[in-house]
A and B are shown apart, each in its own frame.
Chain A
């Protein structure tokens, strides 16, 4: 039996344990763009009803900045309960399932590939940037009490120190990242009230159809902090996909994103502060690329994309230093 067939059998058994002996899984496919996680998509069939779901196995790697599968599931439950567009969390795997840590969520259709979204007039409507601002404002209004465990995430305590500590784990010298971290320390804005953040909110983690955003994906970086951190991450240069003048994900201007955010009751947005967090985003994205290369060369999980990330760190560093030098905005 191959490893794939084995996993399929285990997924089927996990479904029967929860949905009854008559339940089965069908039409299993494996999207290959899942990064570090093992993701499969299948139908849960019970009698005449059929529901398409996504299964994610979420192994915890050493030096990983990501929430555990269990924590991600808890975050999605809270966000779903708050009425946001997020795939409905269905169940978590447990020790009996033999699939390690992970969970099953509802499959939501829509486009996630940024280039396809941006090329499509139907998807990339002029109003979309403002709508995404509004969605982010609602996301930031999620109550923090049910998610108190996020207090312990390094990024909740001090997002700059969190990146610096990770860089030290990956043990590669990066003067450009040091400059980013130092600049961030020296220009730290006065602290604001801490709110719930997605932590990886960008085009690419949004499921979009003609009606707008259908789902917000990838909750593995959620933490508490200044809402401008999420806004700055969304506007960071690597997520503009060839449209650098449209800072809000290549979809619109920072102003459009801000206006949508404020109109949805999200509180006043300070664009200077957004730009500060864009510098943070470039620094953090560089560190994340170094992390992927570290996992590759250490043999934790090797692959073409992880290898490319190591070299791509220099592209992010270029954007970072050119931004610090006032050459890019």
Chain B
């Protein structure tokens, strides 16, 4: 069912803007909570914008890597079990790269600034 304007991302942004505006006026504890609340709404906005694209591409990469079919939950479970059993020790760098790519996609939604954490100093 289509709703009238504003759209969902606009609702989230509007509430986040309110929290960011009142937050600094609150006491220590509530100010912190308001900042976390605004952060979570920001996560929701970015997640909504990215839709399911990332999940699907990880599923395809994972199926190719493990050379078995399955949905994302099954494949992730197989990957975890294989890492734990040492079955992927011989493909270590490849496995780290695969998982890192998925984690980078998660971080891009959760806190994109974190990816700028500089290289080895």
Contacts and interface: CB of A to CB of B under 8 A. Distances in A.
B117 A319 contact: yes
Nearest to A307: B40
B33 A175 contact: no
Interface string A221-238: 000000000000000010
A127 interface: no
Q: DSSP majority for the A interface?
A: helix
A244 B121 contact: yes
A54 B22 CA distance: 30
A62 interface: no
Given A178-B83, A182-B83, A244 B43 contact: no
Contacts of A321: 96, 99-100, 103
A325 interface: yes
B6 interface: no
Contacts of A328: 117, 119-120
Nearest to B30: A32
B115 A318 contact: yes
B96 A173 contact: no
Interface string A281-308: 0000000000000000000000011011
Contacts of B80: 173-175, 178
A312 B103 contact: no
A311 B110 contact: yes
Nearest to A303: B33
B18 interface: no
B100 A322 contact: yes
Interface in B96-121: 96-97, 99-100, 102-104, 106-107, 110-111, 114-115, 117-121
Q: DSSP majority for the B interface?
A: helix
Contacts of A179: 83, 95-96, 99
A170 to B, nearest CB: 13
Contact of A308 (B39, B96, B99): B39
A175 B111 CA distance: 20
Contacts of A312: 110-111
- Most chain B CB within 10 A, of A178, A237, A328, is at A178
Contact of A176 (B93, B103, B121): B103
24 contacts: A32-B29, A32-B33, A33-B29, A164-B84, A174-B80, A175-B102, A178-B79, A178-B84, A244-B117, A244-B118, A304-B40, A305-B36, A311-B40, A312-B111, A314-B110, A318-B100, A318-B103, A318-B114, A318-B115, A324-B96, A326-B120, A327-B119, A328-B120, A329-B121
